[in-house]
A and B are shown apart, each in its own frame.
Chain A
Amino acid sequence: DIQMTQSPSTLSASVGDRVTITCRASQNISSWLAWYQQKPGKAPKLLIYKASSLESGVASGFSGSGSGTQFTLTISSLQPDDLATYYCQQYNSYPWTFGQGTKVDIK
């Protein structure tokens, strides 16, 4: 199985800060990586697919990059509404696997 490792596990930043979350795959997954945002008590929401494609309707402040085994999610200017947990997920091969999540707090 492909292991997905996110860092950091928690992140505290101020409104307006640039925030970066990293996701590493245990083997090459090409660009078959997605990012999700999950708020408490809610289902996850797709932000990014195919490593860098922004889902329709998602704020342009979110961006993704990377390929192979190293990926990043960037929030260009953190907003209060961005308080959430973020997950990466590989869909290169079954079983699909998620990272353990990065909880983003607002300072």
Chain B
Amino acid sequence: QVQLVESGGGVVQPGRSLRLSCAASGFTFSNYGMHWVRQAPGKGLEWVTIIYYDGSNKYYADSVKGRFTVSRDNSKNTLFLQMNSLRAEDTAVYYCATSLGGKGVFDIWGQGTMVIVSS
């Protein structure tokens, strides 16, 4: 069945880096744009970034621009989020998500991976 599984979360010190992964299965990964969305503890949802199906275009939230980089490996059905210069305010559950139904919104979500930025 269709599935997105995030990994790579953990505890990291401020200023350090972390790379998240999202493994896709059950659909043709290379046909779909992929997003990262995050949610700080007890807070609302924040869209982070999108990468087009072929990696040709990427957009970022202002809060992460210049620090985070999204990429994908279509041969391995995997999405990545490289997070550099991490700050306490980056602490959140990070979800990967996509739109499989052609609606342009998030109809498929992963279960999320927790990132804690703390000294």
Contacts and interface: CB of A to CB of B under 8 A. Distances in A.
Interface of A: 1, 32, 34, 36, 38, 43-46, 49-50, 53, 55-56, 87, 89, 91, 94-101
A94 B106 contact: no
Contacts of A34: 105-106
A95 B45 contact: no
A75 to B, nearest CB: 19
Given A55-B103, A56-B101, A101-B45, 14 more contacts: A36-B45, A43-B112, A44-B45, A44-B106, A46-B106, A49-B105, A49-B107, A87-B44, A89-B47, A91-B105, A95-B62, A96-B50, A98-B47, A99-B44
10 contacts: A43-B95, A43-B97, A44-B109, A45-B109, A46-B107, A53-B103, A89-B106, A95-B61, A95-B62, A101-B44
Interface residues on B, range: 20 to 34
Contacts, number: 58
Main secondary structure of the interface of A (DSSP, over half): loop
A50 B101 CA distance: 13
Nearest to B59: A94
Nearest to B108: A46
